[in-house]
Amino acid sequence: EPEVTQTPSHQVTQMGQEVILRCVPISNHLYFYWYRQILGQKVEFLVSFYNNEISEKSEIFDDQFSVERPDGSNFTLKIRSTKLEDSAMYFCASSEARPTGGSSTDTQYFGPGTRLTVL
Amino acid sequence: AQSVTQLDSHVSVSEGTPVLLRCNYSSSYSPSLFWYVQHPNKGLQLLLKYTSAATLVKGINGFEAEFKKSETSFHLTKPSAHMSDAAEYFCVVGSAGNMLTFGGGTRLMVKP
């Protein structure tokens, strides 16, 4: 069964450093997402991406964050200058397509996550 | 705006007894609702999805959930718990723009 994969599983970095988290979505999916979960808190939406553009982003997704699909398979989240409060589990997800009508949400398939620790 | 409340952060059951994980949602329109499960060191796995076709939704591993609009609830149930069901369960509401809003999660413990 196709899966979303993420690398690395754990990343430790120093405050102020740039990090890139990588995801390989399911191959025929067209929508891509990043979510994060700070320890002890809820899973939070960061950004959605479709047709090489950000389609939605939350207030968390400020100028320090960027996303990219550099080739036909990878989807990346970059944090330019990490802060202590960026320490969290970051989940990538993908879905086949946005439904053509109504309010139905397409099913999102999640990767195993990358645990980011900022020291 | 939409929100999800999972009423219990921890639920403990004995193997072979029923499971009930409670979820209430708030949404300004007819929502899509999901339950996801997360086993240790694993990703979020979809258990089931409600999209207004039927109020009782059957999912994987014997789980089901019932959508009750009057109560704004979407509780997850299973008739008989198995040890392998021990995990964290998330109730999730979707928006028309595909953004998911998660509940706080319920950790299910299954005692032998």
Q: What is the pLDDT along chain A (119 residues), one digit of tens a residue?
A: 778 999 999 999 999 999 999 999 999 899 999 999 999 899 999 999 998 999 999 999 999 999 999 887 899 999 999 999 999 999 999 998 755 555 567 889 999 999 999 99
Q: What is the distance between the alpha carbons of residues A34 and B76, in angstroms, rounded to a whole number?
A: 26
- Pick the residue from chain A with its C-alpha nearest to B100: A45
Q: Distances from the Cα of B85 to the Cαs of A51, B7, B9, B14, in angstroms?
A: 38, 19, 16, 11
Q: Are A91 and B100 within 8 A, CB to CB? A: no
Q: Are B97 and A91 within 8 A, CB to CB? A: no
pLDDT at A40: 86
pLDDT at B82: 96
Q: Who among B29, B98, B102 is closest to A43 (CB)?
A: B102
For all residues of chain B together, what is the average pLDDT? 92
Q: Who among A58, A106, A109 is closest to B98 (CB)?
A: A106
Residue stretches of chain B with pLDDT short of 50: none
